[in-house]
Chain A
Amino acid sequence: MAIEKDPWNIIITGVGGQGNVLASQILGQMLVQKGYVITIGETYGASQRGGSVMSHLRVSQRDQFSPLIPEGKCDLVVGLEPVEALRVLAQYGNPGVQMLINTRPIFPIDVIAGNTRYPELSVVLKKIQTLSRRVWTLNATEIGLELGDPIFSNIVMIGALSAIDLLPLGREDFQDTIQEYLPFHKVHLNMEAFDRGREAVQEFLL
């Protein structure tokens, strides 16, 4: 499957502790197996203590690119958190960007403390819709909780990504890759998370 343009740029964004980095690694590895040249840039460190985390993935058939995506050049946002999905559009969004969003909010400390409000989810999604080409959503965290740990949400998102068919990411590709990252007895649960993600994702239409 040829990508729409070269490089094709993905941003995985979320809050520290959501498994953002692992998701980008798995995704990157899956695409490398498919013969792509992948460059990933990550921003973490102190940002893990409740701050926003971003991974930039450059997918190319020819070359390595800058680990940071240039302004306005993102093609797909995988938002592990709704407000973070919106946030990256300020610098990297454009009318053609596509969005895959986990709808479960993670409240910043200031919202929990009552110093600021967290916006209504529907308002955020509608706004994102006006700033993008297509939007898909699912509550990946809830699925993760059902499977026993909210951290599964990042695998659920990869499953969802596989379902919306923007990249060649099939179930077998995931299974091959995940086996390299996890002990054998954990693979089964991750496969279930992947499958649940594939089922649950839906296009968000106004």
Chain B
Amino acid sequence: MGNEAIARGAIEAGVQVCAAYPGNPSSEIIGSLSQVARELGIYVEWSVNEKVALEVATAASFAGLRGLTAMKQNGLNVASDFLFNLNLSGSKGGLVVVVCDDPSALSSTNEEDSRLFAKMCDLPLLEPSTVQEAQKMTRWAFDLSEELGLPCLIRSVTRLSHARGNAELGPITKNQQNPRFDTSRPIIPQPVMETHKALHNKMKTCQDRFEQSPFNVYRGPEKPELLVVTCGPGWMYVREALLNLGAENRTGILKLATTWPLPASFLMEHLKKADRILFVEEVDPFLENNVKELCAQRAGELGVKTFLGKASSHLPNVGEINPDIVTRAIQQILDEPYEPRSLQYAREAAEAVSLLAPSRELGFCAGCPHRATYWSVKNALAMDGRDGIVLGDIGCYTLGVRPAGFSQVKTCHAMGSGVGLANGFGHLERFGLNQPVLTVCGDSTFYHAAIPALVNARYNQSNFLMLILDNSATAMTGFQPHAGTGRTAMGADASVVDIEALCKALGARVQVKNPFDVQDTTETIYKLLQDREGIKVLILKQECALVRVKRQKALYKVRVDQERCVGQECGCNRRCTRIFKCPGLAWDPVTGKAQIDEAICTGCGTCADICPQSAILKETV
């Protein structure tokens, strides 16, 4: 896998300290390193957030060791304050920062092009195109970083990080470096005017290196009709597009792997080859705009060119690219006829799917405590009747914005933003806001970003109810350990940072409940909503279903009494399958009764408590 290749490259470079916060599509980098950490004698950590992770890796670098951190696009936002100081202070040992973007937000709250950070911070940026390149370029990045005294950014995307391909492994360098921080030479960004100038000089050296990089490759005729300038997995799409169009002899592909600073001379040499230049990249026109800047600067040498890409609408301005998007763009430009399959087939297939294939709405797993939590929130807010506001955050429980969570959640932005916004809403009563304020926050999110906001809330006396959904897992990203799970990334036992104790120490009023007890939870939430004296914390503690099932199997054996089930009739109308919507429950339209789907039910027993006829029976296992 691309991420594994990056990890391998780091190992081959002799990395010794690796830290990260989980985030799709980056998690497997530190994830796979954590599995071999003991064997290799290196230190790997799941940090509480990306800023701390970057700082942990940087400390290694300051002490002369090699450090690695990896994150998704949002993580770079969180780490950026440090990065904007680090570029000026410089680093010592090789330091590589891998950022994995998620174009089209396949599993993110937003879409971002992290490459712009490289330009902003003025740091070297590498974009591998294949799994093998990811490995080799990561290996190289450490040397480059060490030579320049700057952290090196590697940008990956889903289609590289989660792609798998053949790769040849290189030799592993065992780094025997002893760490030492030279206290006679403080590492600080001041005096800024000097360090900023120094940074520019370093980047000039970097550019020289990039001019020679074997990872920047041109393939194609000497005088192509069209020159495609591309980077990242876009390269694979372009190659395949040309193959399918049969346009290889008309098109040249310039693959750039070092995209900031631009290897200007190398670029100029190839840009001269064609009059029409198409830029293929995702998400923003980063390469496109930077190359156009270069061309404007050196217009005298180049002459007039036709630039095609996002600005010309040949490629979309949002979302990820794929071979079909690229094929269509090139097809248009070259006026090359291409029909991947008969239009009639395409139409028939599309019609069949729209008629027959029901869409798959995302939902909570069977036995997920979040479903029970949102059920209680829904009922408590209905009873309260003041149109309460639920502010969400990031994790599996983000699905609370959808019908799966009864559409309870009304905002969701960055890590910790739920309680951040609650702070603000909790002060609006003085202006006449009559709506009670509620925020939901997961355990991993809590450690990541919620604590400062909670301190603020308690100190500034904001009035809201905070639900901490403690399922003892960083579930959405793949169950990486966190400060509440009791194990570290390397498998050692660790003493848990107790959320309840922490909140109490902050001075909040705290209660702990089991969300599977929906009656009690609903009543508790309702009561807390009536309270107007500052922050209230309700910890809803119940293990993630996927974790529980691996250990214990079911809590209960659940079945539906077919006689008592009222089904679709007035008096129930399929409350369990229509509203509660646990996938462990199935509606049998033939018998007109609800059933338990044994293959899916995890035996949490919550549905038994919501059946108006008590037709769902649970027996302790």
A137 CA to B360 CA, complexed, in Å: 22
Query: Is B220 interfacial (CB 8 A cutoff)?
Result: no
Q: Is the CB of A107 within 8 A of B352?
A: no
Query: Is B574 interfacial (CB 8 A cutoff)?
Result: yes
A167 CA to B260 CA, complexed, in Å: 43
Residues of chain A with a CB closer than 8 A to B162's CB: 41-44, 67
Residues of chain A with a CB closer than 8 A to B361's CB: 50, 108-110
Interface stretch, picked from A123-131, A174-182, A186-194, is: A123-131
Residues of chain A with a CB closer than 8 A to B365's CB: 17, 49-50
Q: Is the CB of B352 within 8 A of A127?
A: yes
Q: Is the CB of A123 within 8 A of B237?
A: no
A113 CA to B359 CA, complexed, in Å: 13
**A110-148 Cβ-contact flags toward B at 8 Å (1 or 0):** 111111111100011001001100000000010001000
- Least CB distance, A9 to chain B, in whole angstroms: 11
Residues of chain B with a CB closer than 8 A to A41's CB: 159, 162-164
- Least CB distance, B130 to chain A, in whole angstroms: 6
Residues of chain A with a CB closer than 8 A to B586's CB: 107, 112
Residues of chain A with a CB closer than 8 A to B323's CB: 66, 68-71
Query: Is B556 interfacial (CB 8 A cutoff)?
Result: no
Closest to A29 in B: B164
* Segment 38-95 of A: residues with Cβ below 8 Å from B: 38-47, 49-52, 64-73, 83-84, 86-87, 89-90, 93-95
Residues of chain B with a CB closer than 8 A to A200's CB: none
Interface stretch, picked from B269-277, B338-346, B449-457, is: B338-346
Query: Is A197 interfacial (CB 8 A cutoff)?
Result: no
Residues of chain A with a CB closer than 8 A to B388's CB: none
Query: Is A202 interfacial (CB 8 A cutoff)?
Result: no
Q: B159, B340, B359, B360: which contacts A73 (Cβ < 8 A)?
A: B340
Query: Is B612 interfacial (CB 8 A cutoff)?
Result: no
Q: A47, A49, A95: which contacts B345 (Cβ < 8 A)?
A: A95
Closest to A117 in B: B358
Q: Is the CB of A113 within 8 A of B357?
A: no
Closest to B346 in A: A72
Q: Known interface pairs A45-B24, A67-B163, A108-B359. Does A114 touch B233 (Cβ–Cβ under 8 Å)? A: no
A27 CA to B327 CA, complexed, in Å: 29
Closest to B355 in A: A119
Query: Is B554 interfacial (CB 8 A cutoff)?
Result: no
A46 CA to B589 CA, complexed, in Å: 30
Closest to A55 in B: B164
- Least CB distance, B115 to chain A, in whole angstroms: 20
Query: Is A28 interfacial (CB 8 A cutoff)?
Result: yes
**B549-582 Cβ-contact flags toward A at 8 Å (1 or 0):** 0000000000000000000100000100111010
Query: Is A37 interfacial (CB 8 A cutoff)?
Result: yes
- Least CB distance, A70 to chain B, in whole angstroms: 4
Q: Is the CB of B324 within 8 A of A70?
A: yes
Q: Is the CB of A38 within 8 A of B165?
A: yes
Query: Is B182 interfacial (CB 8 A cutoff)?
Result: no
Residue from B323, B356, B363 whose CB has the most chain A CB atoms within 10 Å? B356
- Least CB distance, B202 to chain A, in whole angstroms: 34
Residues of chain A with a CB closer than 8 A to B131's CB: 39, 64
Query: Is B364 interfacial (CB 8 A cutoff)?
Result: yes
- Least CB distance, B316 to chain A, in whole angstroms: 15
Query: Is A15 interfacial (CB 8 A cutoff)?
Result: yes
Residues of chain A with a CB closer than 8 A to B342's CB: 95
Q: Is the CB of B353 within 8 A of A150?
A: no
Q: Known interface pairs A86-B356, A118-B358, A127-B356. Does A46 touch B107 (Cβ–Cβ under 8 Å)? A: yes
A: number of interface residues (CB 8 Å):
61
Query: Is B8 interfacial (CB 8 A cutoff)?
Result: no
Residues of chain A with a CB closer than 8 A to B340's CB: 70-73, 94
Q: Known interface pairs A40-B164, A66-B240. Does A112 touch B356 (Cβ–Cβ under 8 Å)? A: no
Query: Is A169 interfacial (CB 8 A cutoff)?
Result: no
A101 CA to B117 CA, complexed, in Å: 46
A66 CA to B159 CA, complexed, in Å: 9
Query: Is B396 interfacial (CB 8 A cutoff)?
Result: yes
* Segment 10-48 of B: residues with Cβ below 8 Å from A: 24-25
Query: Is B306 interfacial (CB 8 A cutoff)?
Result: no
A122 CA to B362 CA, complexed, in Å: 26
Query: Is A32 interfacial (CB 8 A cutoff)?
Result: yes
Q: Is the CB of A67 within 8 A of B233?
A: yes
Q: Is the CB of A70 within 8 A of B349?
A: no
Residues of chain B with a CB closer than 8 A to A65's CB: 236, 239-240
Residues of chain B with a CB closer than 8 A to A145's CB: 599
A124 CA to B356 CA, complexed, in Å: 7
Closest to B323 in A: A70
Q: Is the CB of B106 within 8 A of A45?
A: yes
Q: Is the CB of A39 within 8 A of B165?
A: yes
Q: Is the CB of A64 within 8 A of B25?
A: no
A45 CA to B241 CA, complexed, in Å: 27
Query: Is B166 interfacial (CB 8 A cutoff)?
Result: yes
* Segment 211-256 of B: residues with Cβ below 8 Å from A: 233, 236-237, 239-241, 244
Residues of chain B with a CB closer than 8 A to A68's CB: 159, 237, 322-323
- Least CB distance, A170 to chain B, in whole angstroms: 21
Residues of chain A with a CB closer than 8 A to B362's CB: 46-47, 49-51
**B578-595 Cβ-contact flags toward A at 8 Å (1 or 0):** 110101011101000000
Closest to A119 in B: B356
Q: Is the CB of B130 within 8 A of A64?
A: yes
Query: Is B476 interfacial (CB 8 A cutoff)?
Result: yes
Q: Is the CB of A112 within 8 A of B581?
A: yes
Query: Is B604 interfacial (CB 8 A cutoff)?
Result: no
A108 CA to B365 CA, complexed, in Å: 12
Q: Is the CB of B163 within 8 A of A39?
A: yes
Query: Is B399 interfacial (CB 8 A cutoff)?
Result: yes
Q: Is the CB of A28 within 8 A of B164?
A: yes
Residue from B237, B353, B399 whose CB has the most chain A CB atoms within 10 Å? B353
Residues of chain A with a CB closer than 8 A to B24's CB: 45-46
* Segment 135-192 of B: residues with Cβ below 8 Å from A: 158-160, 162-166
A28 CA to B236 CA, complexed, in Å: 19
Residue from B107, B131, B585, B586 whose CB has the most chain A CB atoms within 10 Å? B107
A44 CA to B399 CA, complexed, in Å: 16
- Least CB distance, B350 to chain A, in whole angstroms: 5
Closest to B163 in A: A67
Q: Is the CB of B322 within 8 A of A46?
A: no
Residues of chain B with a CB closer than 8 A to A71's CB: 323-324, 327, 340-341
Q: Is the CB of B399 within 8 A of A49?
A: yes
14 A-B pairs in the complex with CB atoms less than 8 angstroms apart: A15-B360, A50-B361, A67-B165, A68-B322, A68-B323, A83-B358, A86-B356, A90-B353, A94-B345, A108-B358, A109-B363, A114-B578, A119-B358, A131-B345
10 shortest interchain CB distances as A-B pairs: A45-B107, A72-B341, A40-B164, A67-B163, A72-B340, A46-B107, A66-B236, A70-B323, A90-B353, A50-B363
Chain A interfacial positions (CB closer than 8 Å to B):
15, 17, 24-25, 28, 32, 37-47, 49-52, 64-73, 83-84, 86-87, 89-90, 93-95, 107-119, 123-124, 127, 130-131, 141, 145, 150
19 new A-B pairs (CB below 8 Å) besides A83-B357, A131-B352? Answer: A40-B164, A41-B163, A42-B162, A49-B364, A50-B364, A51-B360, A51-B362, A71-B340, A71-B341, A73-B244, A83-B358, A86-B352, A95-B342, A114-B568, A115-B578, A116-B359, A127-B352, A127-B356, A131-B348
